[in-house]
């Protein structure tokens, strides 16, 4: 008979005796937890499958962050907030704002240019024609009045009107001579085919027709004074405008002499109209 606890002849333990019901008896307490092997030094014990699960280990010096607390970026080694580079801040900046500012700058520049152009156009329009552009129309008007005074000199019957007309004709000849000298120095010529020349020819024809009709009706003296007063007033305004726009000595001399002669004739016409009223 083999000793207790030793294997039999075939290396197997002897079978336990069967219970009366044929179920082998269970040795030991089935509800008793198995004994844990002794812990070895330096080895972490494993969780007990039959016991309570081990609680998670948390470092006692690291508390959990409170709920609903805003995130604070970690500070540097020196305790201050971390510093970000300029390039990083430029990268995270919104790019739409840069585009809007660029368009705004372009808009301001464009508005400034348009305002400057508009101001130049307005200034040019209010300044009027240049000095050279004024000389030729004045020369054409002087030639027209000179032709009219020569034609109507023999038709005037009143001595006072005839003398005033003779003085006016002499003044117009002097004015025409001075203008031709000025135009030659400035290399200006009257173009007979220009629109201003055609307009002046039509004006001279209408003026001649009006005076001839008055002569046929026998009212030339009275009509002549009123008509020539109007014509000399218009010519005087043109010469005054030229005087304001020039600083040339020759032009200023021409303007002053012409205005003085025109004023003398206008006074003579006004004196005649006063005696006949």
* pLDDT digit string, tens, across residues 50-71: 555 555 554 555 555 555 555 5
Determine whether domain 131-276 maps to CATH 1.20.1260: yes
Report pLDDT digits (tens) over 210-241.
999 999 999 998 889 999 999 999 999 999 99
Which of 86-90, 142-146, 234-238 is predicted with the least confidence, judged by mean pLDDT? 86-90
Cα(234)–Cα(236) distance, rounded to whole angstroms?
5
Cα(179)–Cα(248) distance, rounded to whole angstroms?
13
SS (H, E, C) 183-251: HHHCCCCCCCCCHHHHHHHHHHHHHHHHHHHHHHHCCHHHHHHHHHHHHHHHHHHHHHHHHHHCCCHHH
Instruction: Please say if the pLDDT value at position 208 is more than 50.
Output: yes
Residue ranges of the domains in the chain? Answer: 131-276
Cα(25)–Cα(50) distance, rounded to whole angstroms?
23
Report pLDDT digits (tens) over 9-32.
444 444 444 455 555 555 555 555
In terms of residues, how long is the chain? 277
How far, in Å, are 198, 201, 211 from residue 205 at the CA level? 11, 6, 10
């Amino acid at each position: 008979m083999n000793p207790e606890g030793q294997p039999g002849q075939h290396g197997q333990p002897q079978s336990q005796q069967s219970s009366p019901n044929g179920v082998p008896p269970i040795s030991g307490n089935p509800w008793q937890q198995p004994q844990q092997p002794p812990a070895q030094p330096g080895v972490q014990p494993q969780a007990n499958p039959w016991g309570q699960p081990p609680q998670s280990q948390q470092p006692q010096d690291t508390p959990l962050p409170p709920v609903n607390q805003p995130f604070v970026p970690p500070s540097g080694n020196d305790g201050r907030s971390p510093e970000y580079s300029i390039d990083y801040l430029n990268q995270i900046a919104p790019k739409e704002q840069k585009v809007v500012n660029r368009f705004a700058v372009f808009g301001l520049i464009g508005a400034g240019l348009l305002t400057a152009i508009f101001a130049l156009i307005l200034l040019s329009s209010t300044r009027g024609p240049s000095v050279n552009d004024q000389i030729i129309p004045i020369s054409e008007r002087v030639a027209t009045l000179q032709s009219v005074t020569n034609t109507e000199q023999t038709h005037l019957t009143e001595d006072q009107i005839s003398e005033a007309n003779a003085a006016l004709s002499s003044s117009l000849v002097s004015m025409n001579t001075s203008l031709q000298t000025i135009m030659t120095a400035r290399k200006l010529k009257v173009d007979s085919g220009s629109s201003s020349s055609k307009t002046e020819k039509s004006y001279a024809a209408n003026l001649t027709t009006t005076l001839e009709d008055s002569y046929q009706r026998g009212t030339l003296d009275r009509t002549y004074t009123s008509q020539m007063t109007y014509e000399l007033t218009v010519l005087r305004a043109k010469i005054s405008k030229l005087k304001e726009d020039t600083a040339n000595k020759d032009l200023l001399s021409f303007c002053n002499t012409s205005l003085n002669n025109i004023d003398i004739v206008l006074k003579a016409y006004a004196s005649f109209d006063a005696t006949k009223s």
